[in-house]
A and B are shown apart, each in its own frame.
Chain A
């Protein structure tokens, strides 16, 4: 109980922050990718980039807040180097699975993450497996596979920047995004 309370509090705060940040972010979103100066000699030239990489913000849309409702929890956490669902996580995932099964029109994105320890590629794969663990459970519970998309960001999108276990434990997560 205590734990859920903490989590929702954190979620609240982050939502607030994100909300504020979102405004600022909008201004910065128009940053264009620049191309590199072409040199007159035959060394490095033509370093250009694609338009598809213009700035994107990361937002959460559905801000349902219900401290008791597992559906209100959109993040589940994992142990180090593990993609196994804790009982707590399982409970939350199941709630979402049920919801999705009841609402076939809804689509969800599962974002897998890991803490900064280890290497980036490994953590990318680990995040992928964590997201898949949730997706598998969804599927088992009758959610249509095309309603679910999993991607991994590895350690690239941490929520906590410190270099200690409290930060790391927060980063080892799957976010359920509608």
Chain B
């Protein structure tokens, strides 16, 4: 009797240890980074005059360029559905498309009616569907394609898209004393650029106001006085551009509320950061150091500015309260760090960093103070975050020519923007949607 009891107790204790197996848990720590496979089916066209732009192609290219999607080739599509009832999800599972976009373009009066639907293939669910009316102009049609791309991007990633945004940049043509500078504004993929300014003087540092309507930039006057800042309203027909100050000033940075600019003033042989109230032109000095202080940039909450200073010998990134006070050095790694600007969520800075002999784009995490190198060493300049923080655009040299590169914020996917004749530099990304 006792024997059995003991055996029973032992079995209870030892049994579970010997034979029990919990649910199998497998850790998956990495995937493909190819991006979500998405099938964008050629849009159906109804009408006589086809639109001048291929919406499907633009959407596909946008999504691919963002680094988050893998646009599948239409040749592999079993069917080309153009309406809801034509969709067979099995067709899309077969080619492992995770998302599906179908659409229609219908010619109407003096333009087109464009509609699309986005599906989650494995859940067999429609995620988005919209219908737009646009004119027939190529620019508008491209813009609708960008807007559609944004809807798709946001529905699938949870992050707002930045395809229907504008970028400003500087192009140069010619060389030496024949050089011609153009300040341009274009769609996010470089299409439909418009020239804001054409001059034989250097143009640099374009900066978008938060309202997406004004641009500030630096150019040189005929008066041989050196660099000065101009403000221009792009949406005002008859407005002239205005000079910010009558003295040498450069490196404009708009405050998040659009009322002030942080600038670099050259006074008494010293370059320092000042904050200027645009409406009153009142100046407030922020840095007082004899070294070079320039390239100020505001934090998204308007409380801090980061700037470049060589007060410790070589250029490094410092942070100062917008109210003034002591500047704190942020970057400790790298021989040089310059041209820092915040991500839209305020958690990171993108900057130019010099680790060895060459300059690279780095992402600096404000909390952990860690610096992550994003690009291979090359001549890089003026990096800027996209308005959704998912991409970084910067200028570099490729094949001896200046080009703009858009890279996903983790550095994985790089895309060269359409290169004009001549060279491209100084990108600035507007957050305002059209």
Contacts and interface: CB of A to CB of B under 8 A. Distances in A.
Contact of A33 (B199, B202, B220, B233): B199
A78 B220 CA distance: 23
Contacts of B233: 46
Given A41-B140, A109-B224, A120-B381, A128 B271 contact: yes
A153 to B, nearest CB: 7
A146 interface: no
A48 B232 CA distance: 9
Interface centre among A33, A41, A57, A124 (most CB of B within 10 A): A124
Interface string B218-240: 11111011110000111111111
Interface in B82-140: 135, 137, 139-140
Contacts of A53: 197-201, 219, 221-222
A21 B177 contact: yes
Which size class do B's interface residues fall under?
Answer: 35 or more
A109 B218 CA distance: 21
Given A122-B294, A157-B202, A47 B234 contact: yes
Contacts of A109: 224
Given A33-B199, A47-B196, A50-B240, A119 B235 contact: no
Contact of A44 (B135, B194, B219, B352): B194
B175 interface: yes
B381 A119 contact: yes
B177 A58 contact: yes
A117 B226 CA distance: 20
B204 A49 contact: no
Contacts of A129: 269, 271, 292
B67 interface: no
A39 B234 CA distance: 12
Contacts of A28: 178
A125 B359 contact: no
Contacts, number: 163
B194 A47 contact: yes
A69 interface: no
Nearest to A24: B178
A30 B128 CA distance: 54
Contacts of A1: none
B177 A122 contact: no
B288 interface: no
Nearest to A129: B292
Nearest to A159: B176
A169 to B, nearest CB: 15
A38 B194 CA distance: 10
B271 A117 contact: no
A121 interface: yes
Contacts of B312: none
22 contacts: A21-B176, A31-B180, A31-B200, A41-B137, A42-B235, A46-B233, A46-B234, A46-B237, A47-B194, A49-B196, A53-B219, A54-B222, A122-B292, A122-B294, A122-B295, A125-B266, A125-B292, A150-B226, A151-B224, A151-B226, A154-B204, A156-B204
Leading 5 A-B pairs by shortest Cβ distance: A151-B226, A156-B202, A132-B269, A46-B237, A53-B199
Interface of A: 21, 25, 28, 31, 33-34, 36-39, 41-50, 52-58, 81, 109, 116-122, 124-126, 128-129, 132, 135-136, 149-154, 156-157, 161, 163
Given A119-B382, A121-B264, A125-B264, 9 more contacts: A25-B177, A44-B194, A44-B235, A57-B177, A119-B338, A150-B226, A151-B248, A152-B226, A156-B202
